[in-house]
Amino acid sequence: MTARNERKPEPRIPLSRERVLRAAVDVADQGGIESLTMRRLAEELGAEAMSLYYHVANKEEVLDGIADVIATEINDVVDQIDAPSKGPDWKKAVRQRILSAREVLLRHPWAPGVFDTRTNLSPAVVQYIDALVGLMRDGGFSNDLAHHALHALGSRALGFTHELFDPSDGAGDEGGAAMLEMADRLPHLVGMMMEVAHDDPDSTLGWCDDQFEFEFGLDLILDGLDRIRETA
Partner DNA sequence: CGCCATATCGTACAAGGTAAGTCTGGGCGC
Partner DNA sequence: GCGCCCAGACTTACCTTGTACGATATGGCG
Per CB under 7 A, residues contacting DNA are 14-15, 36-40, 42, 47-51, 53-55, 58-60
Burial of 158 (0-12, 13-18, 19+ CB in 10 A): buried
Select from DNA, its own copies, none the partner in contact with residue 47, using the beta carbon and a kind-dependent cut-off of 5 to 8 Å: DNA
- Looking at beta carbons only, is 4 or 188 nearer to DNA? 4
The CA distance from 72 to 66, in Å, is: 10
The CA distance from 205 to 194, in Å, is: 9
CB 47 within 8 A of CB 20: no
Select from its own copies, DNA, none the partner in contact with residue 79, using the beta carbon and a kind-dependent cut-off of 5 to 8 Å: none
Interface residues for its own copies in 161-180 (CB under 8 A)? Answer: 161-166, 169-170, 175, 179
Q: Does 87 bind its own copies (CB under 8 A)?
A: no
- Looking at beta carbons only, is 6 or 130 nearer to its own copies? 130
- Residues in the chain, total: 232
Angle at 194 between CA 188 and CA 199, to 5 degrees: 125
CB of 123 to DNA, least distance (A): 21
Phi, psi of 95 (to 5 degrees): -60, -45
Interface residues for its own copies in 173-212 (CB under 8 A)? Answer: 175, 179, 185-189, 191-192, 195-196, 199, 208
Region of 90 please: left (phi>0), alpha (psi -120 to 50) or beta.
Answer: alpha
The CA distance from 23 to 43, in Å, is: 10
- Looking at beta carbons only, is 48 or 76 nearer to DNA? 48
Q: Does 231 bind its own copies (CB under 8 A)?
A: no
Q: Does 90 bind its own copies (CB under 8 A)?
A: no
Residues whose CB is less than 8 angstroms from the CB of residue 106 and which lie 6 or more positions away in sequence, other chains included: none
Amino acid sitting at position 54 = Y
State which of residues 6, 119, 171, 181 lies at the interface with its own copies (CB under 8 A).
119
CB of 120 to its own copies, least distance (A): 6
Select from DNA, its own copies, none the partner in contact with residue 189, using the beta carbon and a kind-dependent cut-off of 5 to 8 Å: its own copies
CB 48 within 8 A of CB 42: yes
The residue ranges that bind its own copies (CB under 8 A) are 115-116, 119-121, 125-127, 129-131, 133-134, 137, 143-144, 146-148, 151-155, 157-158, 161-166, 169-170, 175, 179, 185-189, 191-192, 195-196, 199, 208, 213-214, 216-217, 220-221, 223-225, 227-228
